[in-house]
Amino acid sequence: MAVSSSSSVQAARQVLADRLREICRDAGLEGKQLAEACGWHPSKVSRIATAKTSPSADDILDWCRACGTENQAQDLIASLRAVEGMWVEWRRMERTGLRRAQEERLPLFKRTRWFRCYSSWLMPGLLQTYGYTEDVLRAVQRRRVAIDDVADAVAARMDRQRVLYEGQRRFAFLVEESVLTNALGTADTQIEQLEHLLTVSALPNVSVGVVPAKLGRTRMPVEGFWIFDKTQVNVELVSGYLTLTQPSEVSMYADAFSTMADMAVYGPKARALITAAMGPLG
């Protein structure tokens, strides 16, 4: 498993390692004895037990078999899968194309009631038009995905946008002013996108704030992120997709969102910036 420096990921990996170490101790085995029973080098046991190396599912099966706790193996493997899901490289998430990656996020969006999103480079997915989404996902596909299922992926993202109109949900979006003029497609596509942004911002359950580009700001732009209720943060990085659930980390992103929100403009002032961005586009 690719390793993330996030404390959420590290903490979850440590919990799994601690449980494996307890199983070994309760079985009355030393590390060398366990390694011999599994046919491993002793250093492998040490690396797994100290969370320096993440075990594979087969490693967990061998570990439990050697300790006489085969009945615990499947629960531990499930824990391993949960840890793996906290940090996923793009090449792994998108190995079968982009559609599946879009669809896998739908359950999270359906169960969330309070969304907070900050974007410093592109329009947030829930606010994108079909044409804008197509340009974005086509660029992703060309850069890193061999399978071309862009049309299906765009359809999946459009379907996910239904959460804006269904149920008792609240949405707070913050975008840097540069997002209003930073697009991959044509001027017509960007104008359509900005018009759609004005329309969505008028929904009673949606707040759209624009952080003005100006000197003297108190906080520089950061990586884009989503906060789902008060329990989870997702961050799209260059190398992969990060899920954070540690309360301390969720709180840090909530504080960052609050800081950016204080710097943003809303209502008529936000609409004025959006409308002004359309001018140079014709």
List the domains of the chain with CATH numbers: 7-87 (1.10.260.40), 94-281 (3.30.870)
Give me the pLDDT at residue 6, please: 60
Three-class secondary structure of residue 169 per DSSP: coil
Are 154 and 130 in contact, with CB atoms under 8 Å apart?
yes
Q: Is the pTM of this model over 0.85?
A: no
Give me the pLDDT at residue 2, please: 46
Task: Write the single-letter amino acid at 260.
Answer: M
Would you say how long the chain is, in residues? 282
Query: Mean pLDDT, consecutive 10-residue segments, the chain of 282 residues?
Result: 58 88 96 96 95 92 96 87 77 92 94 97 97 97 95 97 96 97 92 98 98 89 95 90 85 96 97 96 84
Three-class secondary structure of residue 160 per DSSP: helix
Return the structure tokens found at 53: 């190396």
State pLDDT tens for residues 105-162.
999 999 999 999 999 999 999 999 999 999 999 999 999 999 999 999 999 999 999 9
Give me the pLDDT at residue 97, please: 95
Residue 130 CA: distances (Å) to CA of 143, 182, 185: 20, 17, 12
HEC sequence for 1-53: CCCCCCHHHHHHHHHHHHHHHHHHHHCCCCHHHHHHHHCCCHHHHHHHHCCCC
Are 197 and 123 in contact, with CB atoms under 8 Å apart?
yes
Q: What is residue 187's DSSP assignment?
A: H
Interhelix angle 42-49/31-38, rounded to 10 degrees, is 120
Number of DSSP helices (H) and strands (E) in the chain, helices first: 13, 7
Strands (E), the chain: 87-89, 114-119, 170-176, 206-211, 225-228, 232-236, 240-244
Name which of 77, 234, 206, 200 is nearest 132 in CA terms.
Answer: 200
